[in-house]
């Protein structure tokens, strides 16, 4: 009889432990919540447009549009030629073919 009572008590205790582990997760608050938010990567699409820095709101879309314009107006093979010139220049990390085409599209030749 004592063996059955102790086995039942262990079963109830085990069920209680499992229930506590599964259901005992409270929402994270306070400092732990702040740290969790910092660790998550925030994409610009998740942030309100007015909260983005000037570069994300204005400069990046402007150069993106200018890149598209430069690609449409440039003769064929321009990207390959620019890539070859960047190779000769040692592939500066700040410059890419896309950035050069964006600057080229934004630049206005003086007449």
Q: Tell me how far apart the alpha carbons of residues 67 and 71 are, in angstroms, rounded to a whole number.
A: 6
* Average pLDDT estimate for 21-31: 70
Do 102 and 54 fall within a single domain? yes
Q: Tell me how far apart the alpha carbons of residues 41 and 63 are, in angstroms, rounded to a whole number.
A: 24
Is the pLDDT reported for residue 110 higher than 50? no
Do 34 and 75 fall within a single domain? no
Q: Tell me how far apart the alpha carbons of residues 52 and 28 are, in angstroms, rounded to a whole number.
A: 27
67-84, pLDDT tens digit by residue? Answer: 777 777 777 888 888 888
Do 18 and 68 fall within a single domain? no
Do 55 and 107 fall within a single domain? yes
């Amino acid at each position: 009889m004592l063996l059955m009572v102790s086995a039942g008590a262990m079963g109830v205790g085990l069920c209680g432990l499992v229930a506590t582990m599964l259901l005992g997760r409270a929402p994270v608050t306070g400092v732990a919540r702040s740290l969790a938010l910092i660790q998550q990567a925030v994409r610009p699409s998740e942030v309100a447009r007015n909260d983005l820095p000037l570069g994300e709101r204005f400069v990046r879309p402007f150069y993106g549009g200018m890149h598209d314009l430069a690609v449409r107006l440039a003769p064929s093979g321009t990207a390959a030629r620019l890539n070859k010139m960047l190779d000769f220049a040692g592939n500066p990390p700040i410059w890419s073919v896309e950035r050069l085409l964006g600057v080229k599209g934004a630049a206005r030749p003086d007449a």
